[in-house]
Chains A and B, each alone.
Chain A
Amino acid sequence: MSKNLSAVVAHIAILLAVFIVCGLLSSVAAATDAGAAKFTGELEENATLRVLENDTAIKQGYLAELIAAFNEEYKDYHITVQDANMDQYTDLENDGPYGYGPDVLYQANDRIMRYPDGKHILPLPAEEFDCYDKISEKGWQAYRRTVAGQEYTFGIPVNVQGPLLYYRKDLLPENWESEWDDDGDGIPDMVEYWTDMYRFSKEIKEGGGGKKFGYMRSFLEPYFSVGYLYSYGGYTFGKGNTDPSDIGHSKGNAELGANIIRQLATVMDQRCIDDSVTTGAYAALASGEFFATITTPDVYTMFVDEMKAKGYTEDFIAENLVTTYIPKLPASGNLEDESQGFIECNMMGGVQGYAISSYTKYPNAALAFVKFATSYEMIKRRNELLGIVPARGDVADEVGGLSEVINNNLEAGNITVMPSIKENAQIWTPLQTLFQDLAKDAFRTGAEIKYATLDSMKEALQRVDQQIYDSIFTLQ
């Protein structure tokens, strides 16, 4: 027995010895240094770059044009760029370390800026870009982050996103110049001031038998609704949207913004509570069911297509489908009280741009591509083909119109860029729930009404702030 037992023990001892020696050796082994991806200025020859662009740029042929131009320009270096052919919301955090991610990515600032904490994207030498002094400070701020005590820039702004008011000029009352232009500036008051839009919408709804509406827009999407809170002092995160421990949708007089939402809902119908009106808005504006709505600049062609389908000519559409900046809000926070004057409506916006993956094998070629893609010519072409609002001030000034207006509003702080921290992902559902509740309240009756006073709205906003805080911090 002892002989056999000793034999078993000897076998186990061999295994244990191997386990201890090899296991410990592997655990104390230093981390592998595969070499840093650095911008040396020396282009890597024979590089193949995978570029992730947004779907619209691909569909409209812009990416193909950009790739062809770059490949031609850098053919001597044998650098080839190709479509990464991935979902536009590809997650670099999960794909990058395993070599599946793109080398260059084009996404909105809230998505790109989820990556710096894990060092998944490279800090860029922004000052080397010819667009450096052409882009507003607000645009750059969307891509700046302090990591380990030092501030870096992680993206190059390309496109400023901000909501616009779309309306049908031909649906204005015939006497608008005498009745609806109190300030005499030749612009209808209802597209300049929310108080007039509210009054006008009320008239249309009452006269339309519930079939026609003035302003119509679902409040479900926080992107389009949170601006009413911002306009009265609310904010998402403190310290310029960088401090997730300070959540401020209830701060300042944000409850006045909540009141605006509740009041606006009364001149619409219940479709403003859910999202059933969102996709139907193009057709509804084209048919004249709605006079005005709010959405982003890039869907202009959707309205045009719907109007064409209704038999309108291109000339008619060009003259009567009007886009303008969001109307001003009453300082009183009451759409029936203009006595305290007006304030700018501060809406949520975004900045889309390019970033370079830390996992790229060709950082210098990738940098050359981003410089090329953000050059004056390419941004101008992007604007022509896709109708984007360029973040480059020189292009925006040249094309003028809404590009200039949106850039000016960004500069003036009337567009609040989406927070560029990953905690931003946790604000949407609580806000969406709140806005649905506020809009629904306009249709509640008697004891069911939840938000009859500003105090009750303030409390609701505070609950939402707490909910967001809990979702971010409870489990950390």
Chain B
Amino acid sequence: MNKARSNPLNSALMHGALILYTLIALFPVFVIIINSFKERRSIFREPLALPDAESFSLIGYQTVMKQGDFFLYFQNSMIVTVASLFFILLFGAMAAYALSEYRFKGNLLMGLYLALGIMIPIRIGTVAILEMMVATGLVNTLWALILVYTAQGLPLAVFILSEFMRQVSDDLKNAGRIDGLSEYTIFFRLVLPLVRPAMATVAVFNMIPIWNDLWFPLILAPAEETKTLTLGSQVFIGQFVTDWNAVLSALSMAILPVLVLYVIFSRQLIRGITSGAVK
């Protein structure tokens, strides 16, 4: 069976092409990280060599630690990402439940209204968002970012979660109703645990864009104490542009947390994309 699709030459060619592209994908990351551990002269003399006993140096990391408040930036990014995800999931699941479970006037219309934001980027409204944040005094607070990311993530979350909630069995919910559970208890105790995989997918989809965003931190929260890691490294690198050790170390430090998150969640992410959640 299937002889035509599995001859060894073909397979070698396929592996060759995939290895080549994998190298292209990983090469820049690799170069940045190995050079961040070298002293200045070796960075320029042998940029592609691994750090050895002679060229090894942590001077870049020392500069970064001394000059930039990377711990604070990291903490800000963490707070913003986790809080936004929490609100996206909570509010999104609640709205998705209302849309998928109950029949009421305007259900379809409400669904369409919430879906509008899937295609229209929130950045278009930036001018008015900034004006509103200034008026409410939220500018330069992490709340401004949390609100914006929550609003940005909700449309897709509602869309994906309501698809999944339609599949939760009616018998289960009706059994709960007969036992006298309130609608709220049914939602939180029966339905939410069942859609946990879909919630994880939504969380992973939203996590990376929120963590990596530069536009809103730059506009809504550029103050030193509210800088996110992305904005913080951008500003830091801009200032230290001639200090190659510091720049390479700052880049490596910005790569690290995302890479760790990716290693933890990549299975979830890939399963989410390939299960067709975004069709």
Instruction: Tell me, yes or no, whether A binds B.
Output: no
Chain A interface residues (CB < 8 Å from chain B)? none
Chain B interface residues (CB < 8 Å from chain A)? none
